[in-house]
Amino acid sequence: MSSQRHYDPYAVRAQFPILSRTVHGGVPLVYLDSAATTQKPDAVITAIDQFYRRSNSNVHRAAHALSAEATSIWEGARARVARFLGAQRTEEVVFTRGTTESINLVAASWGSMNVHAGDEILITGMEHHANIVPWQLLCERTGAVLKAVPVLEDGSLDISAIDALLTDRTRLFAMVHASNTTGTINDVGALCAMAAAKGVRTLVDGAQAVLHQPVDVQAIGCDFYVFSAHKLYGPTGLGVLWGRYDLLDAMPPYQGGGAMIQHVSLERSVYEAPPLRFEAGTPHIAGAAGLGAAIDWFDTLDLDAMAQHEDRLTHRATSIIYQVEGARVIGEAPRKIGVVSFVIEGVHGTDLGMLLDEQGVATRTGHHCTMPLLERFHVGSTCRVSFAAYSTNEDLDVFERALTKAVRMLR
């Protein structure tokens, strides 16, 4: 890692109005649930507000000034995302409702053309349900088989198992870039290279990666990359599917309706080229205004310094947790994003989450939509703390006191 760089999380934090509120009648909020969704900076809130105050109109269809503005906001955001991901063409960026819909789109559309009985889809044992269930549905429809790369005790992938799992029947390898439960960062470039060497297509679930590090789809070498705006300081209800243009161009529509057609008669329809082919109906235009602003805002951060800061918080949170007798951190891979999941012997996760919340500390307890991963670690649920650009050491001071008190009360 490069030398230590100064990073001021307080200057970042000051731009997030929600972080100065209190909960439960006056307790200052300590938000440690950024892996579920990030909070939004002023720049994003203003962009959405301005869209509805000034530019609200539908895209693509009308010949008037507001519609032209709305269209340029929508298409401008697409161009912004394309640059953010290092896409070769803006047309490779499809807007969806989120990571979940992006994966369902690929499974339904690309899957219907390319996956047949006896074929195999490879995933990993650390996927979010959003990168498991769509493939199970596809397998049920086609008679294909779903396989998974095992996860090692430290939460990293068992790379040695991959070669045998990539067979001549494997059509796609879908993998998470960074785990929302253990925080493990996968070397997706290496995984995609292994797949490509055997002619296997790849999809990377970047939902948890985009907010912690720069992403370059060319360098990764994947075929599809997906993420949600709301985990990148943007609004809910909007997501991205990036795909190589030749693949998108060969894919049938996912949903039918307005905007995705060139011509419709009662007998048949002629579809648009990508990305419009996959964007039926009125889209989340205000969401695109927000996502464009979120990426512009994110670009102002020193990402190296931010990653170092988040790393320090992750290490400190891990030591705070290990001070508690009977605590166990689930996932201690060498490369992690700012996510720490843990269990404490004799303490029920839901009770712990509630007592932390009473002290203003927002964490998440449960299976985090990764049931197979938790099963692999023989736990039913964990308590999870997660960080973003605005998280501070002071947040962890409060967490440390709150955790000590909560555990004392529960034992």
User: Hey, which residues are catalytic here?
Assistant: 369
Does residue 122 bind ligand PMP (CB under 6 A)? no
| Region from 46-54, 62-70, 200-208, 394-402 binding ligand PMP, contact rule CB under 6 A | 200-208
Task: Mark 161-190 with x for binding to ligand PMP (rule: CB under 6 A) and - for no binding.
Answer: ---------------x---x----------
The Cα 203–Cα 46 span in angstroms is 33
State phi, psi for 95 to the nearest 5 degrees: -90, 135
User: Angle at Cα 52 formed by Cα 50 and Cα 54, nearest 5°?
Assistant: 60
SS3 71: helix
Does residue 96 bind ligand PMP (CB under 6 A)? no
Does residue 99 bind ligand PMP (CB under 6 A)? yes
CA distances from 65 to 71, 79, 293 (A): 10, 21, 21
State phi, psi for 72 to the nearest 5 degrees: -70, -30
Between residue 358 and residue 377, which ones bind ligand PMP under the rule CB under 6 A? 369
Instruction: Give exposure, 70-85, as e/b (b: 16+ Cβ within 10 Å).
Output: bbebbeebbebbbebb
| Region from 123-131, 152-160, 282-290, 321-329 binding ligand PMP, contact rule CB under 6 A | 123-131
HSE (CB half, 13 Å, CA atoms) of 10? 3
Does residue 339 bind ligand PMP (CB under 6 A)? no
Q: How many residues bind to ligand PMP according to rule CB under 6 A?
A: 14
Residue among 180 and 391 whose Cβ is closer to ligand PMP: 180
DSSP lists the bridge partners of residue 205 as: 176, 226
Residue among 119 and 336 whose Cβ is closer to ligand PMP: 336
| Region from 63-71, 83-91, 113-121, 126-134 binding ligand PMP, contact rule CB under 6 A | 126-134
| Region from 3-11, 47-55, 128-136, 282-290 binding ligand PMP, contact rule CB under 6 A | 128-136
In the set 78, 80, 128, 171, which binds ligand PMP (CB under 6 A)?
128
Does residue 203 bind ligand PMP (CB under 6 A)? no
SS3 28: strand
Cα 43 from chain centroid? 21
- Shortest Å distance, C-beta 36 to ligand PMP: 6
- Cα torsion 175, 179, 182, 183 to 10°: value is 130
Q: Which two tokens stand for residue 339?
A: 């996510």
Q: For binding to ligand PMP (CB under 6 A), which residues are involved?
A: 98-100, 128, 130-131, 176, 180, 205, 207-208, 228, 230, 369
